Amino acid sequence: PAPAGLLGEPEPEEAVSDDSSRHGGRVRGFPHERGNWATHVYLPYIAQEEFLELLELLVSRARSYVPSLAAMEEFHLSLSQCVVLRYHWIEPFVRSLRERLAAFHRFFCVADQVKVYTNQNKTRTFIGLEVSAGHFQLLELVSEVDGVLEEFDLPTFYKNPSFHISLAWCVGDLSGRLEGQCLRELQDIVDGFEDSAFLLRIQWEQIRCKSGNKYFSFPLR
């Protein structure tokens, strides 16, 4: 569906707060400005009970190295950076995405390699599961999403991306504590988890775009 208010109605108000204490100390990647809508294209992952059991084991072990780690509440694999769309761009942006992604079929990938990441300005650290199979199909999707971003003169995705599903995060650059021995222990947990080969072989069925508080879905064929 198109965002409410696009067809000639006034632009809706967005509730805005830059108080980082209200969301775990996270800092905006860019300042909020009225009419700017933070936008992100991604593959959603709906966690099953077994995945949440694995997550609990991983976070519990990692907290012995970084006690402030928090488990993610929702899971996804990014196909774009978080970019800024002007309000009146949302409808044509979504329409262009829908056209470019219409031909893609469902596919599998394997996300079973534990890796530590930081965001670009080093204000947050993440533990994620990196994709070890299915990279080519993901690159094809990113190529189409990048094409849409270029139409709107927006930043494209990272070169040589490390596709991953983030599992947990903390404020600050604490990658040094999580890499090395901690990372090896986390990988051992993943490798030894019952049915992990089946659990971490993921079929992607849809692509989503989130713009502000609006969600758009693009089913894969």
Q: 178 burial class (0-12, 13-18, 19+ CB within 10 angstroms)?
A: buried
Which residue in the list 32, 76, 88, 105 is annotated as catalytic?
Answer: 76
Rounded Cα gap, residues 174 and 111, in angstroms: 23
Helix axes 135-151, 90-101, angle to 10 degrees: 140
Q: Does the active-site annotation cover 164?
A: yes
Catalytic residue among 32, 40, 88, 164: 164
CB-based contact 71:187 (threshold 8 Å)? no
Q: Annotated catalytic, 76?
A: yes
The set of catalytic residues is 76, 164
